[in-house]
Homo-oligomer: A and B are copies of this chain.
Amino acid sequence: MFDLQQYLKEKTALVNKALERSLPAADARPAILHRAMRYSVLAGGKRLRPILCLAAAEAVGGNVKNALTSALALEILHSYTLIHDDLPCMDDDVLRRGKPTSHVMFGEANALLAGDALLTLAFEWIAKTIPPPPYKPNQIILELAKAAGSMGVIGGQVEDLAFERKKPDAATVNYIHMHKTACLITAAARIGGICGGAGRGELKALGKYGEKAGLAFQITDDILNETSTRKKMGKAAGSDRARGKMTYVAVHGLEKSRQAALRLAGEAVRALQPLKGDKQALAALVDFIVTRKL
């Protein structure tokens, strides 16, 4: 039987070691900037996006090695979104993963610039892998740019802020969750597939898997944020609700949210059907996404 805990342990170690080695040294000029970049990226976290990327490469019969640099790029891009999200003009959070946020540690300007630098570095890293034919050499860069851009993650962040303290509605929360969260998770699955040489049908399947898994991830986040104290995240129960954020739970209630997460998880697993490689990890990861406690 597939041992997800062992898989997560191995892949997390692989990603962490590669990040540690690949990020600019803490004493490279300007040292405060590189310390800030390393501080946020190496603060831990589930490494969900890079691990999904690696697992997607395996699920199409590809080699994890060919997807590693792209996986790291996804993680540092995710780190930049967290740093900017935490800034005083955004969510104004002082804790992240139980540690002081970047602007608390390094000042607002350096946090802003550390985020900018991680976003820039993500494109440097993603550009290092030229995917195999029939993919175009620039395909994975375009995938990442679209997923992370104004009609992807950033679009979701803008609407998330615009609808704070407004009456929750299903269409808006769906837009926000699809863009702010599911876009990058979908990109992680697709990019892993491209690096692994996915066929056309496989790539489409990975996209569907990513969307469903991404939405399930965010709904689970909303549920956890409503019900658990999540002390390690530095968040209090109901903090998103207190802030007037539009959550899936606020629109649909806890019970329907739980059902939706499980339904999406099932759809994500079924989407894997066309994949020709080892898809055990992708299937197990969905399970992890909806059953995690953090």
The chain A residues found within 8 Å of chain B, CB to CB, are: 24, 28-30, 32-34, 37, 80, 84, 87-90, 107-110, 112-113, 115-117, 119-121, 123-124, 127-128, 130, 136-138, 141-142, 144-146, 148-151, 154-155, 157-159, 161-162, 175
Q: What is the chain B residue whose CB lies nearest that of A130? A: B137
- A170 CB to closest chain B CB (Å) equals 16
Say what secondary structure dominates the interface of chain A: helix
CB distance from A35 to the nearest CB of B (A): 11
Contact B150 A33 (CB under 8 A): yes
A149 & B124 in contact (Cβ 8 Å cutoff): yes
A161: which B residues are within 8 A, CB to CB?
Answer: 109-110
Q: Is the CB of B154 within 8 A of A113?
A: yes
Known: A34-B150, A84-B112, A120-B145. 18 other contacts (CB 8 A): A28-B151, A29-B159, A29-B175, A30-B155, A37-B150, A89-B108, A109-B158, A113-B157, A116-B154, A117-B154, A121-B149, A124-B142, A124-B146, A128-B142, A130-B136, A130-B137, A138-B138, A138-B141
With A87-B112, A112-B89, A138-B130 already in contact, the answer to whether A162 and B120 are too (CB < 8 A) is no
What chain B residues lie within 8 Å of A112 (beta carbons)? 84, 87, 89-90, 112
Give the residue name and chain of the B residue nearest to A89 (CB): B108
Q: Tell which of B120, B137, B145 touches A154, judged by Cβ atoms closer than 8 Å.
A: B120
3 cross-chain pairs, A with B, having the tightest CB-CB distances, nearest first: A137-B137, A124-B145, A89-B108
CB-nearest residue of chain B to A103 = B89
* Given contact pairs A121-B149, A145-B121, A116 touches B84 in the complex (Cβ within 8 A): yes
Q: Which residue of B lies closest to A87 (CB)?
A: B112
Contact: B124 with A158, CB < 8 Å? no
Contacts of A154 in B (CB 8 A): 33, 113, 116-117, 120
Give every chain B residue within 8 A of A30 (Cβ-Cβ): 150, 155, 158-159, 162
A127 CB contact (under 8 Å) in B33, B37, B89, B145:
B145
Quick check: B116 and A142 within 8 Å, CB to CB?
no
Tell me the bound Cα distance from A130 to B142 in angstroms: 12
Name the residue of chain B whose CB is nearest to the CB of A129: B138
Contact, CB under 8 Å: A89 / B116 = no
Query: Which residues of chain B are near A121, meaning CB under 8 Å?
Result: 145, 149-150
Complex A-B: 20 CB contacts under 8 Å: A30-B150, A30-B155, A32-B162, A87-B89, A109-B158, A113-B154, A113-B157, A117-B149, A119-B119, A121-B145, A123-B123, A123-B141, A124-B141, A127-B127, A127-B142, A127-B145, A128-B142, A130-B137, A130-B138, A137-B137
